Structure 1
C-alpha cells in the first residue's frame, strides 16, 4: 500500500533498517555550547569521544515544527504519513511534529498524517516501526495500522541498564551528591520508560553481575511466552557488551526475532558508553 513511515533519530535505526523498512528520519540535534549538530551527522564513537575530551557537556534539542513541516511537505501529497515519535515524556519532538502537521494542514487540508507518541525511545521505537512495516507489507488498511500502533504502545516495555552514571550526573538528570554516593557504593541503576514515557528508576542494584542478572530476569517477569515476540536491543558504542547480554538472553528465552543497533548521539548523551537498552511487548500494559 502507499504509505510513508517516518521517525526521528531517537529511534536509533541503522541505515540498513531505514532502507529495509523505507523510513524517513527527521534528525534531532545535539549542542556543544554554541555548536549545533544534526545527530545523524555524528557517529556515536566520535560523539562520546568529544564528551570525554571537553568540559562542555552537550544538550539535545528536538526538530523544530518547521523541520517536520518540511519533511511532511516533501512527501507526495497523495501518500499518507505515519510518524513514530520519541516519547513526549522526554522530548518536545512529538508536540513539534503535531505543530508541523497543523502548519501543513492549514495549506493542504487533504493531507493524511498520523503521529504516534511511542512513550519510548531507541529499541522501543524500532519495534513499533517494524510492526508498522509488517502491517504495511500485508496491505493492512491505514486506519487499522494506526489503531494497532496506538494500542500496542501501552504494552511496550523499554528498560535499560547503564555502565556509568557520569552522563546522567553531568547532564543534570541525576543529583550530583546522590550520583556520587551511588558510584561509591557501586550501585547500578536499572531504568525504564514509565506509563507517561518518562525515565524512571526501576531498580537499584549493587554490583555489575547482580545488575546484569536482574536485567535479564526482568524479561520473564513481563512475558510468559517469548516464542512469538520480537526483541530489540541497542548498545552505547560497546558491541562486545551487547553480545554478552544477547548471549544471556538467548540462553534463557526464545524470541522469534531479535533486532540490534547502536544508540545514536541523542540517546548516548544521557545513557553514555556501554548502556544497554532493551524493548519488548509485555503481556500486560504499563
Structure 2
C-alpha cells in the first residue's frame, strides 16, 4: 500500500527523507522580536540564535493552519499519517486533526491518522521511522496505527540545556535564579511526562555531569533500549552530541543511534548548546 507521512517542522528530517516524496515537512512560524521566521528548508540556525540572544522577549511559535494540513493530505497515497509536536506544547496537533476532519468530509474514502507524539524533535523523527517500518512490513492501516500508538506510549524524551535564557524569558525561571544557576554552572536535566509536558528531572554542575545524569535517567526510564533506535538532536554543538552518542552506546547499547542538528522549533526549545534525546 502507498503511504505518506506529514510531520510538522519540530520533527527533524533525516538526510535521506529530504528528497523522499512520501514525507512532507509542514513549517511552523517562529516570532522573535516582532519578526516572523518560517521554519522551512531556508531556516538559518546561527542567525536565529543570534536574534534570540539579542531579544529580551521569549521567542514564540505559531502552528500550521488546518488548511495547510489539508493541502498536505491531498495526495495519491492510500494511507496518510501526520506526526505532530506534543499537543501539550503546541496547537499543531489540534490543527492537524481539524485539517483531517475537513479533508475527510471531501474524501471519505481516504485513511488518515494524526499521531500526537507527546514529544518533540527527534521523538517525532523516531515515530516517522516506526511508521515507515510498519508500512514496509505490509501491515494494514489499523495495525500501523495500533503499533505506532503503542510505540509512543513507551517512548521518553530528555534534554539538557546549556543556556537558561529561554526558561527565564518564558517565566519558568526567575532572573535571579537564572543568574545564580549560570554563575554556579548549574545545568537542568529535563524530560517529558507521559502526557507530553516538560518537567525537570535533575540538575548538575557543569554540562558533562548533567549529560552523565541524563544518560542515567534514560537508562532508568527507557524500555527495551537494546532493541530500539535512539535519536540525538543538538543545537549547534556537534562535539557535545558526539560525546553523548558515545556515552549512550557504551552504557545502554541501543540497536541504532541517529544524530541530527535541530531545525527551527527545536532550536527555540533547546537553545544554543542544548541536546535532546528520544528513545
TM above 0.5, one fold? yes
Q: Distance in 2 between matches of 1:176 and 1:91?
A: 25
Equivalent residue number for residue 65 of structure 1: 66
Q: Deviations over 1:211-269 (max 9, x none)?
A: 12111222221347633221110000111111121122222232211111011111211
Deviation at 1:43, TM superposition (A): 2.5
The CA RMSD over aligned residues, in Å, is: 2.0
Q: Distance in 2 between matches of 1:121 and 1:162?
A: 15
Q: Distance in 2 between matches of 1:243 and 1:48?
A: 21
Q: Deviations over 1:64-111 (max 9, x none)?
A: 1111112112x12x6221111110010000001111111112222222
Q: Distance in 1 between matches of 2:112 and 2:223?
A: 36
The runs of 5 or more residues in structure 1 that have no matched partner are: 281-286
The DSSP-based 3-state class of the residue aligned with 2:118 is: coil
Q: How many residues align?
A: 278
Equivalent residue number for residue 53 of structure 2: 52
Deviation at 1:153, TM superposition (A): 1.2
Equivalent residue number for residue 16 of structure 1: 16
Q: Distance in 2 between matches of 1:207 and 1:126?
A: 29
Q: Distance in 1 between matches of 2:110 and 2:224?
A: 41
1:153 aligns with 2:152: yes
Q: Distance in 1 between matches of 2:266 and 2:208?
A: 24
Deviation at 1:56, TM superposition (A): 5.4
Equivalent residue number for residue 226 of structure 2: 227
Deviation at 1:209, TM superposition (A): 3.2
1:214 aligns with 2:213: yes
Contact 1:85 1:94 in 2 (8 A): yes
Contact 1:28 1:60 in 2 (8 A): yes
Equivalent residue number for residue 167 of structure 1: 166
The DSSP-based 3-state class of the residue aligned with 2:149 is: helix
Equivalent residue number for residue 44 of structure 2: 43
1:174-193 superposed matches below 5 A: 174-193=173-192
Equivalent residue number for residue 284 of structure 1: none
1:1-286 superposed matches below 5 A: 1-19=1-19, 22-40=22-40, 41-55=42-56, 57-73=58-74, 75-76=75-76, 79-223=78-222, 226-280=225-279
Q: Distance in 2 between matches of 1:194 and 1:142?
A: 28
Relative to the length of structure 1, the TM-score reads 0.90
Q: Distance in 1 between matches of 2:223 and 2:59?
A: 40
The DSSP-based 3-state class of the residue aligned with 1:11 is: coil
Q: Distance in 2 between matches of 1:221 and 1:15?
A: 31
Contact 2:235 2:275 in 1 (8 A): yes
The DSSP-based 3-state class of the residue aligned with 2:195 is: coil
Relative to the length of structure 2, the TM-score reads 0.92
Deviation at 1:53, TM superposition (A): 4.2
